[in-house]
Structure 1
Amino acid sequence: YGAGGAGKSAALRALAVAAAVTSLGGPIQVYGLDFGAGGLRMLEDLPHVGAIISGDDDERVIRLLRTLRDLVDDRAVRYA
C-alpha cells in the first residue's frame, strides 16, 4: 500500500527472490497477486514461484485464495 514509485513492487520482488534462499534448502512456493502495472511478472520464471496472478483475473485470484485457505486449514489441524 502506497503511492506509485514508493518501492512496493521492488520490495515484493526482493522478498520473493530472498524466499528461495533458506538455511535448510526447504521447499518454498511463492504466489503473487499483482494489482499494479505488472511489476511482479519478472518473477514468473523463477523455479519457486507458483504463479503471479493479475489482480483483474477474478477467477484465478479467488482460486488462489481458496487454495491458500485450504492449506492453512489443513495445517491448523495437522499441527494442532
Structure 2
Amino acid sequence: MSHVPSRTFSGERFRVLRKSAGYTETSLSAVIGINRVTINAWARGVVSPSLKSVLVLADVLGCRIDDLFVEVDRVA
C-alpha cells in the first residue's frame, strides 16, 4: 500500500479566511444565500460545501480555491 496525497475542504481554514475577510457566519450567509447553520457546519467540518459553493466562497472571501483545502494522506 502507498500513501496518495489528496486535498480536502478545511473548516479551520474557512473559518480563518471568513473572519479575516470581515464576515460573521450571519453576514456571509446573507451575501452568498446559504443558511447560517450550513456555514457553521462547514466551519466545524461536519459537511463540506459543494464545488459551486467553494467557487463562491473563494470569490467572496478574496482567496484562492486552494486556500480552502488542506492536504491529507490516503492509503491506496
Bigger RCO of structures 1 and 2 (CA < 8 A, at least 6 apart) = 2
TM-score scaled to structure 2, two decimals?
0.24
Whichever structure has more strand as a proportion of its residues is 2
TM-score scaled to structure 1, two decimals?
0.23
Whichever structure has more helix as a proportion of its residues is 2
Q: Which has the larger radius of gyration?
A: 1
